[in-house]
Structure 1
Amino acid sequence: MHLNYRTCSALLLALSLTITAHAQHADTTLQKPISRFLKCDAVQKTAVPAILLGATVLTWPHKEEIRELRNRYIPTFRYRYDDYLQYAPVATVLLLNAAHVKGRHSPKRAVVSYAFSMGIMGVVVNSIKRTAGVQRPDATSRNSFPSGHTAMAFTNATFLHKEYGEYRHPLYSVMGYTSATATALGRGLNNRHWISDVLAGAAIGIASTELGYYITDQIFKDRGMNAPLRNNPVPINNKPSFLEMHLGYAISTSNDLSLANSEDLYVKRGFNLGIEGAWFINRNFGVGGEFAFSSFPVSSEKVVLDDDLKAISEDLYTQPIGIRYFNVGPYFSYPLPNNWFITAKLNTGVSYGSSGNVILKLNPAAEKEYGRPELPIMKYKPKRAPSWTAGIGIQKRIARNVAIKAYTTYLNSRHGFEILGLNETNEDGELNYEPIPGGLSRLKFNHLSFGLGLTAFIW
């Protein structure tokens, strides 16, 4: 039996009082209220939206830096599949109903739940858009936050999840949330939204559907519910195959990332963003892979320009140093009591460093002379290299197919690296670069990343 929202609040208060009055007996006294609190229906239904909203806050200061990845790797991406893919999960529900494949609820009750969900989502998204007035990355309008396409996609994905994923097979949920995630990625790749926009949109979509179903449950009670299927047990000790998205901070562990050990240019704390998955052959061992990005802003605050450069500029900046990697290998999982897991991985593969520039911001006179507001005076070009990662995590399953994981990953790679300096500008305004004598031959991209992951189990 699920606990209601009022019971959850009471349990939270009881938990706080227990901690205050009986801290010396924490091991025995707190176990029961903590367990009951985590099993609250309200806690389980709001945990994922809360994590997504937390990620929205964390990524907000870095949204322009994260968009830089798109601009540097695929600046001409223009594939508007996201305009259509957002409707794929709800279309799946309609097709399954037309084929007389029963979901959790009757078609009438499912439609009412969906109508409430869509109404809530629409009101929340449009109200925030008009109030926030955030400019889109492509500067076409000031209604970027939150992403309406993403909110629609995750509303539809959660609808499919609740009707068929939780009732028949989790692969319905995986398909629905995969299409929703692809929609969210498309909004960023098409330069229509910041990462904070899509994270908030996903949170609103999931929360709106949960609230829509809650309202419908209060109206219909037990009417319109199909009988539970016998082949839908709660998987406690099954094979924990999974798909996962993670986001966190990245900290350099290599002096090389100071850009040739320069005292003028040095990296600051960056971010790590990626997806991974594994197929487990038993409950402890599996094989999988990861595809991720790490990016490090480069500070040029200590740079002192020489007299020649001061004549045309008073400031410069360096594009972030980044790396993307694809590694595969063994994954490990060890189940603990109360649906906790210890996880680990040891992968190897290939990594690619991102090319970038050291850029002068030209003064008005120089801008007129060069015909451009900025002038790249130095380029860095890393080459492809082998890489390996080792990681550990602690994971808590909060629903049948959903878990939250705190992770730490170490990446090791060493790249051939070349630095080019601006040599001259020809009559057509084209810039010519030549290798800087004594430039780097190898550079280590070793770094440690840590953050949170959202896991979807496939069992």
Structure 2
Amino acid sequence: MRPDSSTLLYAGTKAAPLRTSEGNEKHCAAPSPGTDFTFSGFPWIIAGAALRGQRTNIRSLRQKFQYNFHSPADNYLQYSPLLLTTGLKAAGVEGRSTWGRYAVSAAASYAVMALLVNSIKYTAREQRPDGSTRNSFPSGHTATAFAAATILHKEYGLTRSPWYSIGGYMMATATGCMRVLNNRHWVSDTFAGAGIGILSAELGYTLADLIFRQHGLRRPDRTAEPVSSSRPSFFSIQTGVGLGKQQLDILLGNEVLQDDYEEENVRGLKLSHALSVSSEGAYFINRHIGVGGRLRVVSRAVKNLDDFTKQSLYEFSKTFPDLDGFMDEYALTVQSNHLAEFSLSGGLYFNLPLTSRISLGSKLLFGRSYMRDVDIDARVRGHQRDLDFSYEADKGKRRITCEVLGQREDNGDVYDCSWDYLTVMGNKAFTIGTGLSVNFSYKSLTAWRIFLDYDYSYRNYTIVYDPMHFLKAAARNVTFNGSPVSSVERYVKPNVASLKRGLAQTVLGAAFSITF
């Protein structure tokens, strides 16, 4: 029998009478245990696990623009969605559950969350980025916030308006971002914490369904059927892998680097497949057109950066024949071997319904991206000596050369110098992106998404090559063609070159979405 306008039903359940606040009887069916459970927390947990190997590379993006950020607001913001849910109930706004069922659902959610978070924290023993303790992974603040946001989503987002869900998850996301900016957590900690928070609330509500059955339900979902064609608006967390490999030729047009590495047979930086993690959402004005944005982190490993550390004392003997005593120790160390990129973009989203459950999506996005530096550090230790600089002709150009004067018995004080030997920096760049996706409605207001994204950015790379920086510390007395000079810094300068290059990235991935 088709229900009339006063009858509210959960899909696949049997209705039971409830009393409204006006004293009128209506029907609100209890969900079968587990039927409301979704897997929306797992993509976040998987993303957190995948990012653990990239955590230091991604953290450096924070160092570039918010190094000294500090705010205690995240200590309070984590509870905001739960306080909002409780406040709405206290104000008489009817949600999914009665007070008793809500209390059990929330308590069970936080009990599961506390068990999962603390069990993993004290098993993984991940050191915090600020070095304070070894209980970083996963983030408890973020788990608390996302558990609270999921409770708000179930009580009011699914039953009354999607804006409750959006508001709750935005507050939870802000909590996770602030934990990273406050240098208390790695990005991987917050992603895993978010997934555990969502999963805990799902399990907490499933447990309450087992206990209460049809008792204590006040309001069902706004829609009982999985429909994507009429509700294409979404918020998702997604992970993907870049297709294809690329190379950044940092030796192009740089004669100094070419001369030093011509025997090593290296031309540039060979980039691996990219790992992409992003959060994306869009609000659709109608069934076909919407506006939205994406926040994304992409990390590519530089596979051959070790080739640039093969310079040794032997190679320097061509310039400094009297190395004994002057250069006792010389070491090159890779400090950063990933090109990590953070981008924020927005634009138009498109949706083409195929069936009630399946739709095709596309987008056109414009944004801004920030890139982390690739860096090799050097350390030289020895005894100070007298240095003489001179010009010599090399391929029609004048180059400065340096000669060590005196013998071993002329050694001066010990010097120990560390510096940036080779740095590749990418400037801020505009990006343009598009993509295709296939969306499958999973349950009420949730969907799986498979996507293929294409993004292009054109940026200026600055290559700073400074192999002789140690001479500033190693020089005892300095002459130029035999004449005394006041400072070696006039002659020891890094080689700085620029390279303009466009990089395209195609990412294949999957996402779990909340639709509304």
| TM-score band, normalised by shorter chain | 0.7 to 0.9
Q: Which of 353, 373, 395 is equivalent to 1:335?
A: 353
Q: Which residue identity does 1:410 align to in structure 2?
A: Y
Partner Cα distance (1:104, 1:406) in 2: 31
Q: SS of the residue aligned with 2:49? A: helix
Residue equivalent to 2:122: 130
| Offset, 1:198 | 2.1
Residue equivalent to 1:454: 512
Structure 1 residues 434 and 314, CA, compared in 2 at 3 Å: closer, same or farther? closer
CA contact (8 A) 2:450 2:511 kept: yes
Identity of aligned residues (%): 31
Q: Which residues of structure 2 form unaligned runs of 5+?
A: 1-9, 14-30, 253-265, 318-326, 384-412, 476-487
CA contact (8 A) 1:259 1:266 kept: no
Measured against aligned partners, the alpha-carbon deviations of 1:341-367 in whole angstroms (never above 9, x if no partner) come to 22111223444444x25322436769x
- Which deviates more, 151-160 or 332-341? 332-341
Q: Which has the higher helix share?
A: 1
Structure 1 residues 424 and 315, CA, compared in 2 at 3 Å: closer, same or farther? closer
Structure 1 residues 250 and 456, CA, compared in 2 at 3 Å: closer, same or farther? same
Q: Does 1:214 align with 2:197?
A: no
Partner Cα distance (2:514, 2:316) in 1: 53
TM-score (norm 1): 0.79
| Offset, 1:260 | 4.2
| Offset, 1:90 | 0.7
Residue equivalent to 1:348: 366
| Offset, 1:210 | 2.0
Partner Cα distance (1:324, 1:113) in 2: 37
CA contact (8 A) 2:245 2:271 kept: no
Partner Cα distance (2:271, 2:32) in 1: 44
Q: Which of 240, 259, 262 is equivalent to 2:250?
A: 259
CA contact (8 A) 1:411 1:448 kept: yes
Q: Which residue identity does 1:199 align to in structure 2?
A: F
Residue equivalent to 2:272: 268
Alignment of 1:244-393 (within 5 A): 244-251=236-243, 254-255=246-247, 257-260=248-251, 262-263=266-267, 265-298=269-302, 299-303=304-308, 304-307=310-313, 311=327, 312-317=329-334, 319=336, 320-337=338-355, 339-354=357-372, 356-362=373-379, 374-393=418-437
TM-score (norm 2): 0.71
Partner Cα distance (1:164, 1:393) in 2: 29
Residue equivalent to 1:445: 503
Partner Cα distance (1:135, 1:431) in 2: 40
| Offset, 1:117 | 1.6
Residue equivalent to 1:402: 446
Q: Which residue identity does 1:317 align to in structure 2?
A: V
Partner Cα distance (1:362, 1:378) in 2: 12
Q: Which of 228, 235, 241 is equivalent to 2:233?
A: 241
- Which deviates more, 206-215 or 176-185? 206-215
| Offset, 1:228 | 4.1
Partner Cα distance (1:402, 1:369) in 2: 67
Structure 1 residues 266 and 141, CA, compared in 2 at 3 Å: closer, same or farther? same
Q: Which residue identity does 2:135 align to in structure 1?
A: N
CA contact (8 A) 1:254 1:447 kept: no
Measured against aligned partners, the alpha-carbon deviations of 1:351-390 in whole angstroms (never above 9, x if no partner) come to 4444x25322436769x96666x42023334344443112
| Offset, 1:72 | 3.5
| Offset, 1:3 | 7.8
Q: How big is the alpha-carbon RMSD for the aligned residues of Structure 1 and Structure 2?
A: 3.4
| Offset, 1:116 | 1.8
Residue equivalent to 1:65: 57
Partner Cα distance (2:380, 2:212) in 1: 68
| Offset, 1:52 | 2.5
Measured against aligned partners, the alpha-carbon deviations of 1:298-319 in whole angstroms (never above 9, x if no partner) come to 2312232143669543333263
CA contact (8 A) 2:32 2:209 kept: no
Structure 1 residues 419 and 238, CA, compared in 2 at 3 Å: closer, same or farther? same
Q: SS of the residue aligned with 1:78? A: coil
Structure 1 residues 65 and 383, CA, compared in 2 at 3 Å: closer, same or farther? closer
Structure 1 residues 322 and 220, CA, compared in 2 at 3 Å: closer, same or farther? closer
Structure 1 residues 317 and 228, CA, compared in 2 at 3 Å: closer, same or farther? closer
CA contact (8 A) 1:49 1:207 kept: yes
CA contact (8 A) 1:406 1:452 kept: yes
Q: SS of the residue aligned with 1:410? A: strand
Structure 1 residues 239 and 253, CA, compared in 2 at 3 Å: closer, same or farther? same
Partner Cα distance (2:103, 2:146) in 1: 16
Residue equivalent to 1:79: 71
Partner Cα distance (1:132, 1:385) in 2: 37
Q: Which residue identity does 1:409 align to in structure 2?
A: D
Bigger relative CO (Cα 8 Å, ≥ 6 apart): 2
Residue equivalent to 2:259: none
Structure 1 residues 435 and 397, CA, compared in 2 at 3 Å: closer, same or farther? farther
Q: Which residue identity does 1:360 align to in structure 2?
A: D
- Which deviates more, 76-85 or 271-280? 271-280
Q: Which residue identity does 2:455 align to in structure 1?
A: L
Q: Which residues of structure 1 form unaligned runs of 5+?
A: 5-38
| Offset, 1:84 | 1.0
